[in-house]
């Protein structure tokens, strides 16, 4: 589906699925995800929620014809802003550096035909050939066994269930774990075998062991009840890549 095709689908019919992408300084990667999303099959709505980019991201999104919403910065806040503006029966949250496969929307629709299913996510493959990417690709299924579903895995949710639990909280970190925990109280959360590819840029050009240790420490502190707003001060150094920052 090209840019014009998405515009026509928005005008002619209510979308079954709203795709919501939070951005902050994603000029180097935003075209890639827009290309991937525009190849997704089915009636979809695309919403990009920008948190104050100053690198040309906003101009690129506008030039591609996607619906753009300006917001204060913060991934949880941006995604909730997009959800409130969305028209779809289901909401699909994609990070700006995560690329879906073309049949993803069909897989989501199939999963949600079961009325007991309220939400779900996908398999994650980290790009790159470095050991860090291979390790993270292995690690995510292990974390899933512990009930940990992160935003990199392309979380989707029924709009009704999202509204019932109050949606994303305006947390700067672990907003995804918080939402999924509340959704599990509403019904089944499923895992789809289809793969989304996400960037390993957070771990490039630096010591993976140090970066991963910091991330794991934040996870433990979150489990112990430390507020996400407090953890965010330490998270900044982890999520910002050496070349650019982003919401991925």
**Neighbour order of strands in the sheet with 67-70:** 67-70, 44-50, 17-23, 90-93, 156-158, 117-126, 188-198, 98-99
| Domains of the chain from N-terminus onward | 3-202 (3.90.550.10)
**Residue 90, pLDDT above cutoff 80:** yes
Alpha helical stretches, state H, 98-174: 104-111, 131-145, 159-165
Q: Calculate mean pLDDT across residues 165-169.
A: 95
Residue-wise pLDDT tens digits, 177-229: 999 999 999 999 999 989 999 877 665 555 777 777 888 888 888 888 888 77
Q: pTM (2 decimals)? A: 0.84
Residue range 180-194, pLDDT digits in tens: 999 999 999 999 989
What pLDDT digit, counting tens, does each position of 36-86 carry? 998 887 788 999 999 999 999 999 999 998 899 999 998 999 999 999 999
Which one, of 146, 159, 223, lies nearest residue 191 by Cα?
146
What pLDDT is attached to residue 245? 39
């Amino acid at each position: 589906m090209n840019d014009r095709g998405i515009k026509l689908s928005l005008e002619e019919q209510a979308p079954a699925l709203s795709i919501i992408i939070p951005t902050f300084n994603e000029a180097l990667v935003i075209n890639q995800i827009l290309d991937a999303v525009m190849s997704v099959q089915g009636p979809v709505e695309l919403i990009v929620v920008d948190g104050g980019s100053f690198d040309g991201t906003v101009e690129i999104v506008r030039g591609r014809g996607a619906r753009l919403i300006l917001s204060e910065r913060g991934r949880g806040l941006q995604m909730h802003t997009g959800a409130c503006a969305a028209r779809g029966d289901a909401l699909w949250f994609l990070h700006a550096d995560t690329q879906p496969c073309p049949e993803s929307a069909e897989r989501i629709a199939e999963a949600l035909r079961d009325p007991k299913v309220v939400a779900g996510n996908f398999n994650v493959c980290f790009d790159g050939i470095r050991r860090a990417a291979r390790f993270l690709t292995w690690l995510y299924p292990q974390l899933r066994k512990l009930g940990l579903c992160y935003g990199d895995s392309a979380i989707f949710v029924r709009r009704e269930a999202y509204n019932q639990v109050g949606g994303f909280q305006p947390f700067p970190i672990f907003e995804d774990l918080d939402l999924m925990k509340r959704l599990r109280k509403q019904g089944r959360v499923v895992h789809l075998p289809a793969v989304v590819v996400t960037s390993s840029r957070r771990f490039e050009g630096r010591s993976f062991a140090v970066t991963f240790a910091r991330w794991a420490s934040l996870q433990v502190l979150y489990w112990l009840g430390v507020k996400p707003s407090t953890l965010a001060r330490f998270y900044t150094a982890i999520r910002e890549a050496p070349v650019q920052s982003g919401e991925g």
